[in-house]
Amino acid sequence: MKRIFAQLALAAVLLAALPGAGKCAGDDWKREFEEICNKTENSMSLPTEELKSLVARCDKLKAVIDTQDESTKKVFRKRLQLCRDLYDFVLKTREQEKK
């Protein structure tokens, strides 16, 4: 009886821990997504080097998003592309203004 109780307790602990572990790992790319896309509002005031860095980070994150389930991938890939396009537009506008 004690052995069954111990096994059930262990199973409960493992089941409680596993979703948390997956969530933690899953939050890494979402946190990166938020850090990248939260800067769109101030994109015109960002330094050129930071904009280039953000574009590169978008490209890197796209590969991670492409590994997600179909629904998540569709939504976040589109949103990430919009952020990237804005940063790229600001960069190209600056280049044209220099000419």
The string of pLDDT tens digits covering residues 28-73 is 999 999 999 999 999 999 999 999 999 999 999 999 999 999 999 9
Domain assignment of residue 67, yes or no: yes
Alpha helices by DSSP H, listed for 1-99, are: 2-37, 48-65, 70-98
Query: Does the residue 53 lie in any domain?
Result: yes
pLDDT at 25 over 90: no
Q: Per the domain annotation, does 72 fall within a domain?
A: yes
CA distance 74 to 36: 18
Q: What distance in Å separates the CA atoms of residue 20 and residue 24, rounded to the nearest whole number? A: 6
pLDDT at 9: 40
Looking at the structure of the chain, the number of domains it has is 1
Measured between its terminal Cα atoms, the distance across the chain in Å is 82
Query: Is residue 21 a part of any domain in this protein?
Result: no
Classify residue 9: in a domain, yes or no.
no
Query: Is 81 contained in some domain?
Result: yes
Q: Which domain holds residue 65?
A: 28-98
Token pair listed for 58: 């978008």
Cβ atoms within 10 Å, residue 72? 14
pTM for this predicted structure: 0.72
Q: Does residue 15 lie in a domain region? A: no
In a domain, 83, yes or no: yes
Angstrom distance (rounded) from CA 32 to CA 53: 13
